[in-house]
Amino acid sequence: MIPFLTAVPGLLRQAPVPALSAEGAFEVFSAAAPEGWRVELIEGDIHVTPPADGEHEEIVSELSGQVRDHRKDLGRCTGIGLFVPGASKTGKVEPDLVLAPKGGFADQEEYHDASPVLMVTEVASPSTGDNDRRKKLPGYARAGIPVHLLTDREAGQVVHSQPEGDKYTGTVPYELSAVVPLPEPLGFDLDTGQF
């Protein structure tokens, strides 16, 4: 049983429970998830992820700081929802870090249009690795997001660029700790030795 469900009185004891679509169940889980938990519907499966560990958050923080040092014109968003058709069954995803021009998400929506996004970053964890490495990638490419940075604590990191259809044609792997040149529209080096 998913731990937070025991904290929601009556959620599992309702009778009779009407059949829900995957999207309906996603909405129920999203509404019931405690603060900090991430709920995504990816390829028909509901993924409920607890808050990230300290190492994960240190990596995201360092990435955000280096972006700020190089590109003060960009907003650095964590925990923001994007609507990316094809990245999940509902198209609703929450990348670990999203870069877009400041003001690109100035609306009141819970899930935002991905058109202003210049880069999404996923920091792969054992519980989310397959989603981050494989399942979300075609949706990010189809949305035309110019750069996807995957920081994989097990396998190094990969910079995906040049979206074309449902894939990225410019895919370059780097060792974790390397200096990674981020392609345009970013155009600066990321020192992952600081992770």
CATH of residue 124's domain is: 3.90.1570.10
d(CA 150, CA 152): 6
Among the ranges given (40-44, 81-85, 97-101), the one the predictor scored with the smallest mean pLDDT: 40-44
**Residue 167: inside a domain:** yes
- Written as one letter, the residue type at 65 is G
Least confident of 36-50, 104-118, 139-153: 36-50
Name, in order, each residue with C-beta under 8 angstroms of 61's C-beta and a sequence gap of 6 or more.
none
Segments forming the whole domain that contains residue 96:
52-194
Domain assignment present for residue 28? The answer is no
Is 182 among the domain residues? yes
177: Cβ–Cβ under 8 A, 6 or more apart, which residues? 192, 193, 195
Asked whether residue 42 is domain-assigned, the answer is: no
pLDDT tens digits along 154-193? 788 889 999 999 999 999 999 988 999 999 999 999 999 8
Residue 1 lies in a domain: no
User: Does residue 145 lie in a domain region?
Assistant: yes
Count of domains observed in the chain:
1
**24 in a domain, yes or no?**
no
Q: What's the CA gap between 128 and 142, in Å, rounded?
A: 21
